Structure 1
Amino acid sequence: MNRQQIFLIAAGVLAVVLIYQLPRVVVENETGVEVKPHDFSISTEDQSLLMSLRQQLNAVSEIKKSINFADSLARLYLKYQMVDSADSYAALILSLDTAGTSRLKAAMIYYQAFQMSTEPDKAVGLAQKAQEIFEELLVADPQNSTLKNKLAMTLMVTETPMAGVQLLREVLEQEPDNRETILNLGLLAIRSGQFDRAKERFEKLLEMDSTDDESLFYYGVVLSESGDTEAAKAVFGKLLNKADADPALKATASSYIEEL
């Protein structure tokens, strides 16, 4: 099992999948990465919930409630990385209402599906759908840093990835402590092999919030990828010892340690 496959063990650690979909903007001698999709069995509880949500969606006539049910269904399917089903419910939302709030719901579904898709062509298609909506929403709300962050990451799989990097840098200039921006730049630095820069990003996040388990995990990834194996083990071990840490992060950290 290679490290890219280890990353996919925990469905909750979705951004790592994104790392290996993004182009290596500044690194030379690019090598291909094979990431295989995993099958997930839907729990009995979630199967019942899916059936209930579908029944309510089919029975309701009020558009607002229909959109909420469709959104809930999409997010439940995303829980199991079933991006095609999520995609169809995002399309349903857009067909029901063109208001900004509904378009944002659809865009976020597309964006999350893009992040977790293990098929490059499909990921690009989902990113383009999200990108189009984010650009429209930014016209009405040009200072929205959350929208800018999401748009930037969708731009990373286009023919102009540096436009995404530039957008992230612009956000960081305006908001030096924007967590999402620093996290995104850290992930991009990992992808391009700029481990010293990535290390700075995640150290900054941990200075801002020492309880940030996601940043702690990626800090361990950076240390490992830069060859500091013992330090990486210590960081992953610290994460494993945190009782309240995300089980998905802990599971992936544990599998990573086994490969170090």
Structure 2
Amino acid sequence: MRSKQTLIIAAVVLLVAFLFTRDIKGLVKPKEEKAGVPAGGQLSSANSTINLTEVSTEAKNTINANLATEIATLENAYQAASGDDQLNAAKVLAQKWDDVEKTIPSALYLEIVANKEQTLNNWLAAGGRLMKAYDTTTDSVTTPVLLQKANMAYTNAFALDSTNLDAKTGLGITIVNGMGAPMSGIAMLLDVVKKDPKNLRANMSLGTFAIKSGQFDKAITRFNDIIAMKPTPDAYFYLGTAYENLGKNKEAIDAYLSSKKLAANPTLSSFIDKKVAELKNKS
């Protein structure tokens, strides 16, 4: 049974790495297995293994030439500026990189902004973008550093306001993903849900952790609650995965087909069609 579960979860990882964002990719399979993530409190120094210039150069090679030239001009202006002018230039660059969906340089500029102007909102923005970069990056060297940076951003946000649920949720998620003991992160997320039962981000993280740890009954309850609040393709897909692992093939098929309908993605549709055919043959 365990080997079957491993195969199913591995299949989910391969699928969602292409199709979905943070919630599916980040928690189905622990990234600790992919790269050695230090325990909490052992963060490396900023930019220790991520060089902003190198990241920017690589990203510019993958976008429209005119946009690349525009960003290069802005980066030159940033380098030449100081004080508030440089801060404002970093904000512009973070937005420009986000506009072209290059999350790593965008996140690094937001981190610069937060270090220069240490407000709750700036740290939350940096943490959110760093986690997005972490979730959409497959490089085994870069991902642990992004997680470390996100953890530090949320730690700083939490230090400024320990009652802020976004800061607590983000910090809990980074801990669950490898920055310290997972159960301490789960405790933080449970506290968020206690205070805000409809907090989708915290609920999704708890649901995906339940799948990751093989607690499929708990995952089913969590994802059904999430779907009652906001039906999404990834919530239905996770629900189907949990049902499938418990041998509840009919329920799994229904959940997968709901995911397919909401996503309207050709690649996902093809995957689910094959999955449904397999499950029907087992029934």
Q: What TM bracket, shorter-length normalisation?
A: 0.7 to 0.9
* Aligned residue type for 2:25: V
Other-structure match for 1:55: 73
Other-structure match for 2:190: 169
Other-structure match for 1:258: 274
Structure 2 CA distance for partners of 1:47 and 1:186, relative to 1, 3 Å: farther
Shift of 1:135: 1.6
Q: Which moved more, 1:123-132 or 1:65-74?
A: 65-74
Structure 2 CA distance for partners of 1:149 and 1:162, relative to 1, 3 Å: same
Other-structure match for 2:146: 126
Shift of 1:155: 0.7
Other-structure match for 2:221: 200
TM-score for both structures, normalised by structure 1: 0.74
Q: How many residues align?
A: 238
Contact 1:236 1:253 in 2 (8 A): no
Counterpart CA distance in 1 for 2:161 and 2:115 is: 23
Confirm or deny that 1:75 pairs with 2:95: no
**What SS does structure 2 have at the residue aligned with 1:159?**
coil
Counterpart CA distance in 1 for 2:237 and 2:60 is: 27
Other-structure match for 1:66: 89
Other-structure match for 2:42: none
Among 2, 14, 17, which residue is 2:25 paired with? 17
CA deviation string 1:162-199 (max 9, x = no partner): 11011011112222222222111001001111111000
Structure 2 regions of 5+ residues with no counterpart? 1-6, 36-58, 279-283
CA deviation string 1:215-245 (max 9, x = no partner): 2232223223333334333322233334xx4
**What SS does structure 2 have at the residue aligned with 1:8?**
helix
Shift of 1:251: 3.4
Confirm or deny that 1:151 pairs with 2:171: yes
Shift of 1:92: 4.1
* Aligned residue type for 1:139: A
Counterpart CA distance in 2 for 1:138 and 1:126 is: 18
Contact 1:236 1:254 in 2 (8 A): no
Alignment of 1:179-198 (within 5 A): 179-198=200-219
Alignment of 1:33-48 (within 5 A): 48=66
Shift of 1:94: 4.7
Other-structure match for 2:258: 238
Q: Greater share of helix residues, 1 or 2?
A: 2
Contact 2:124 2:167 in 1 (8 A): no
**What SS does structure 1 have at the residue aligned with 2:214?**
coil
Counterpart CA distance in 1 for 2:120 and 2:148 is: 18
Counterpart CA distance in 2 for 1:59 and 1:121 is: 30
Structure 2 CA distance for partners of 1:251 and 1:224, relative to 1, 3 Å: farther
Shift of 1:140: 2.0
RMSD: 3.4
Other-structure match for 2:56: none
Other-structure match for 2:43: none
Question: Percent of counterpart pairs with the same letter?
Answer: 19
**What SS does structure 2 have at the residue aligned with 1:142?**
coil
Shift of 1:86: 4.8
Structure 2 CA distance for partners of 1:241 and 1:130, relative to 1, 3 Å: closer
Structure of higher CA gyration radius: 2
TM-score for both structures, normalised by structure 2: 0.69
Counterpart CA distance in 1 for 2:243 and 2:60 is: 35
**What SS does structure 2 have at the residue aligned with 1:9?**
helix
Structure 2 CA distance for partners of 1:177 and 1:97, relative to 1, 3 Å: closer
